[in-house]
Amino acid sequence: MKLPFPLFVYFLCLVFIPAVSAAEVRIVANIDELMATSGPNQESNLTVLIKDGTYILPRNILIDGNTVTYKSISNNRNSVVLKGQGFTGSVHNIFSIQGNRVYIQNLTIGEVANHGIQIHGEKKNISHIFLQNLRFYDIREQMLKGSFDPQNPSNHADYGFVENCLFEFTKGYAFQSYTGGIDIHHGENWVVKNNIFKNIRTEDKSLTEGAIHFWNDSKNTIITSNKIFNCDRGITLGLDTSSHFGGTIRNNIIHTIMDTGIYLCNARDIDVNHNTIFIDSNYPNSIEYRFNQSRDITIENNITNKKIVSRDGGNARILGNNTAIKNTWTVDMENAALLFKGLPNLQSQVHPVIITKQIDKNAMHKAPEQETQAVSNIDVWHNQGQTFIVFDEIITPLIPDMITYKDFFNIKKRPRRLFIIFIVTTMSSKASGN
Q: What is the rounded distance in angstroms from the CA atom of residue 119 to the CA atom of residue 104?
A: 12
Q: What is the three-class DSSP state of 88?
A: coil
The pLDDT of residue 155 is 87
Query: What's the CA gap between 75 and 175, in Å, rounded?
Result: 30
pLDDT per position as a tens digit, 110-146: 999 999 999 998 888 899 999 999 999 999 999 999 9
Q: How far apart are CA 434 and CA 430, in angstroms?
A: 7
Beta pairing partners, 329: 340
Which contiguous run of DSSP H or E holds residue 276? strand 276-279
With CA atoms as reference, report the closest residue to 208 among 218, 199, 220. 199
What does the alpha-carbon distance between residue 82 and residue 35 come to, in Å, rounded to a whole number?
A: 11
C-alpha dihedral, 214 to 219 to 222 to 223, nearest 10°: 10
Category of 15 on φ-ψ map: left (φ > 0), alpha (ψ -120 to 50) or beta = alpha
| 3-state SS class at 417 | helix
What share of residues in the chain are helix, strand, coil (percent, to 5)? 10, 45, 50
Q: Does domain 5-326+374-433 match CATH 1.20.120?
A: no
Pairing of strands 329-332, 337-340: antiparallel
Q: Which regions in the chain score pLDDT beneath 70?
A: 1-23, 327, 339-434
DSSP 89-141: SS--EEEEE-SSSEEEES-EEE--SSEEEEEETTTS-EEEEEEES-EEES-SS
> Do residues 174 and 201 touch, judged by C-beta distance below 8 A?
yes
Helix/strand number for the chain, H first, E second: 3, 36
Q: Is the dihedral of CA 10, 11, 15, 20 positive or negative?
A: positive
pLDDT value of residue 387: 52
pLDDT attached to residue 210: 92
Q: How many CB atoms lie within 10 A of CB 56?
A: 13
Among candidate residues 193, 190, 313, 319, the one with its CA nearest the CA of residue 252? 193
Contact 299, 325 (CB under 8 A): no
Cis peptide before 40 (omega within 30 of 0): yes
Burial 87-108 (b: 16+ CB within 10 A, else e): beeebbbbbbbbbbbbbbbbbb
Residues 28, 52 contacting (CB under 8 angstroms): no
| Cross-strand partners of 70 | 48, 104
Question: What predicted TM-score, i.e. pTM, was given to this entire model?
Answer: 0.76
C-alpha 235/C-alpha 140 separation (Å) is 20
Residues 289, 311: Cα–Cα separation, whole Å: 6
The full set of domain ranges for the chain reads 5-326+374-433
pLDDT value of position 23: 66
Phi, psi values for residue 6, rounded to 5°: -60, -40
Confirm if 156 and 188 have CB atoms less than 8 A apart.
Answer: yes
* Rg from Cα positions in the chain: 24
Q: Decide: helix, strand or coil at residue 190.
A: strand
